[in-house]
Structure 1
């Protein structure tokens, strides 16, 4: 797997990003403002993430997605670690991210990568998304915020 910056004239893999965040409006907005990196294997895009500076010294991992056919192979962890390295190399001191209360596997992954839970934004997904979201048989209601000191 090779991870690279999205080229200026290249379209981001919106459909893959939508697998991690179902709001096309939000995805398009933060892709335009953030730094999109794609993971490739044999010339095919198999993963993507977006980093978005939020405050001085702080960057947020706003989206990370792996193509369904490549999940369960440790690629998500590789992408998170790549994002951490990129953020460090760009001088950020803190990386933040948010995920749904129902995203059980993602919560485990982020903690394995060193992130710690710092807060909960109650009813975030109820207020900001038109349709109900369910994962693992759980309604996604709250945003769990995590942080990592770089």
Structure 2
């Protein structure tokens, strides 16, 4: 029975020892490779294809700048990465894997997939689902506790959230744009398809909460092996102006990159000015416009894309 702080501390430390042993991070070379855990993580991040600076990696990995600089120099000396001048800002040096670095990543990635596959293969279907649910719960708790500087926190969807997404889209779009109930029906179909065809490895829903109340949502849905769609971005009026919309979109971009998608697309309408501003700010490009009559109004539909 965990009944006091010292007991809880011992339990957390015990679990840490168990889990690090389980996934093999204490080995001298991660995944039977010559690379440490931190070196492997840097290789993994650079392999996702988006331009990163040393400062970006510091923020992403939470590393000391001096330590990371020495690690990057070591990887550069080994011929695994190179530093190239940014075309948009000549003062910045972007980090990029060399052909040798990409080969190292390929080996690490395959060994990681094989080890996880072997681990999951020893579990029943029910045990796998319990494991994934427990992992998501831990991530949810720590995401909630670490975002202390923001008035909101993000979590994965839970039972009842799809009803909220459908309801609030219907209410807000009627209040703000006069759209009829056919828009609510469209949202209901999108969330039903998401739940019925949910692929956790490739798709994600984020629900934003503030002071115990849901205030926003967004989805990433798989279109095909190379392309994902950003869908149903919504921020409640009371939560606007806090950076929540941008944060939700950035989470989608980060998730899509880590899953190896090459493109993230979305469909919106020209009258959604605030959402369009967020898409522009986060790097999306408007690629197509088409007039249509939907939800009781003449509208201009827009397709936006972001190359990852």
TM-score band by shorter chain is: 0.7 to 0.9
Matched, 1:143 2:301: yes
Deviation at 1:113, TM superposition (A): 0.5
After TM superposition, give the deviation of residue 91 of structure 1 in Å. 2.5
User: CA, structure 1 residues 77+144, in 2 after alignment: closer, same or farther (shift >3 Å)?
Assistant: same
Equivalent residue in structure 1 for 2:296, among 131, 134, 137: 131
**Residue deviations 1:18-75, cap 9 Å, x none?**
3359512111111122343201122211111122222321111121011111112211
Between the two structures, name the one with larger relative contact order (CA 8 Å, sep ≥ 6). 1
More helix by share: 2
Aligned to 1:10: 160
The size of the alignment, in residue pairs, is: 138
More divergent stretch after superposition (98-107 vs 19-28): 19-28
Q: Deviations over 1:91-147 (max 9, x none)?
A: 222111111122222222211100001111232xx0xx2412xxxxxxx51111110
Cα offset, 1:80, TM superposition: 0.7
Aligned mates of 2:226, 2:173 — CA distance in 1: 25
Within 5 A, what are the aligned runs for 1:65-104?
Answer: 65-104=234-273
Q: TM-score under structure 1 normalisation?
A: 0.81
Distance 2:184 2:275 in 1: 21
In the alignment, the residues of structure 1 paired with residue 268 and residue 239 of structure 2 have an alpha-carbon distance, to the nearest angstrom, of 21
Q: Residues of 2 paired with 1:122 and 1:30: CA distance?
A: 22
Superposed CA RMSD:
1.9
Q: Judge conservation of contact 2:206–2:248 (CA < 8 Å) in 1.
A: no
Contact 1:16–1:66 under 8 Å retained in 2: no
Aligned to 2:221: 52
Q: Which structure dedicates a bigger proportion of its chain to strand?
A: 1
